[in-house]
Amino acid sequence: ATKSGGTTRRAAKMVCLDMDHPEIVDFINWKVREENKARILIEQGGLPSDFNGEAYQTVGGQNSNNSVRVTDEFMQAAAEGKEWGTYARTTGELIERLDAAELLDQICRAAWRCADPGVQFDTTINDWHTCPNTDKINASNPCSEYMFLDDSACNLASINLVKFLNEDGTFDIEGYRHAIRIFFIAQEILVDLSSYPTEPIARNSHDYRPLGLGYANLGALLMQLGTPYDSPEGRAMCGALTAILTGHAYAVSAEMAAAKGPFEGYARNAKPMMRVMKKHRAAVDRINAEFCPSYLHEAARQAWDEAIELGEKHGYRNAQATVLAPTGTIGLLMDCDTTGIEPDFALVKFKKLAGGGYFKIVNQSVPPALRRLGYSSDEIQEILTWINGTMTLRGAPHINDVTLKEKG
């Protein structure tokens, strides 16, 4: 949970630090120390544990998401047990030599304790950067789904995947493609109709026209199909749906470039951008065809073949097309059981009421999932009653562990 100023909702900011920064050790452990202070105030001082309470208002670091920028070089040093140097930002002078593996361990322990810092893999991010001839990518937005040039912004939108699930368990690809096209064109129009907080952000947003089309409710989609989230089948379907989304969005971008011209910064980045497009196409072939429905796998291939063919002819209207966004707030408005790419965190949700109190509601994806697994209406009703009372499937009547594909 993160908060800062705001009249309608609490927002966030991203704070990134490179692994070779002289203050990296303090930065890694910053939130842990502050959380320890808050815990003492709550447990020994009797202050409320609520995030908006006095304890958390008293300690620092509650206004930011923290991330470290990790290079392949650092990861290699950690794997080989080597030392890692930190360097002065103004002079480049070597400040200190640290144990790389110990640093990585500190990151893991801090994230386990308080969820910060997150890890951004700098080398990989820049290897997939569409506009490296302009500048490198240094950081992300607060939720880490958008990574692009400094002083830039993108318009976000998300599609509810469950809406394209047919009664027979197949996925409506044509409907999905149509939604992608409509959303993406609308987002492109918004680039010129949006307001931007600073002149550099406005200029870069117009010159590069990055967009962030994404999806929500993947976890609910897999649940309704009776497919385990953490399974080869789940990962293959996720890969195919994501490839269709991004490939078709870039194909539409190339169509718009044919009519309106590519984005202003395309000419200087045409070669590296096409290299990244081909990396995407190669990644489609790594989707495990054994576990992916053939029609989805083929649609993913077609999407990227078309995106590259049209891009080579016309360029692209947008430097970026898609993101994997959290969809937390908008997911509620979209009637989603799960946010973004994540699985569900509970079968039962608690909703606070404006006049006080709360009510419980069972995840609406559970009944169709049970129907697809072969349970009768009476059995489903008894199972739902059990879930509502216990908040778990463990011990529920009629449950067949084999149909749920439980892993031991």
Among 145, 188, 233, 255, the one annotated catalytic: 145
Q: In what order do the strands lie in the sheet with 14-18?
A: 14-18, 65-70, 118-121
Rounded to an integer, what distance in angstroms lies between the CA atom of residue 27 and that of residue 69?
Answer: 12
Among 29, 65, 66, 141, the one annotated catalytic: 141
114 annotated active-site: no
Question: What are the distances in angstroms from CA 148 to CA 138, 199, 209?
Answer: 8, 17, 11
Residues in the chain, total: 408
23 annotated active-site: no
Rounded to an integer, what distance in angstroms lies between the CA atom of residue 88 and that of residue 392?
Answer: 53
Among 114, 131, 143, 336, the one annotated catalytic: 143
Query: 117: cis peptide before it, omega within 30°?
Result: yes
Rounded to an integer, what distance in angstroms lies between the CA atom of residue 33 and that of residue 52?
Answer: 18
Rounded to an integer, what distance in angstroms lies between the CA atom of residue 32 and that of residue 27?
Answer: 10
The dihedral built from the CA positions of residue 371, 374, 379 and 385, taken in this order, carries a sign that is negative
143 annotated active-site: yes
Between the two ends of the chain, the Cα-to-Cα distance in Å is 33
* C-beta of residue 324 within 8 angstroms of C-beta of residue 214: yes
The residues near 264 (Cβ < 8 Å, ≥ 6 apart) are 206, 207, 208
* C-beta of residue 303 within 8 angstroms of C-beta of residue 243: yes
Identify the three-state secondary structure at position 81: coil
Question: What are the distances in angstroms from CA 246 to CA 153, 193, 197, 252, 308?
Answer: 18, 23, 28, 10, 12
Which residues are tagged catalytic?
141, 143, 145
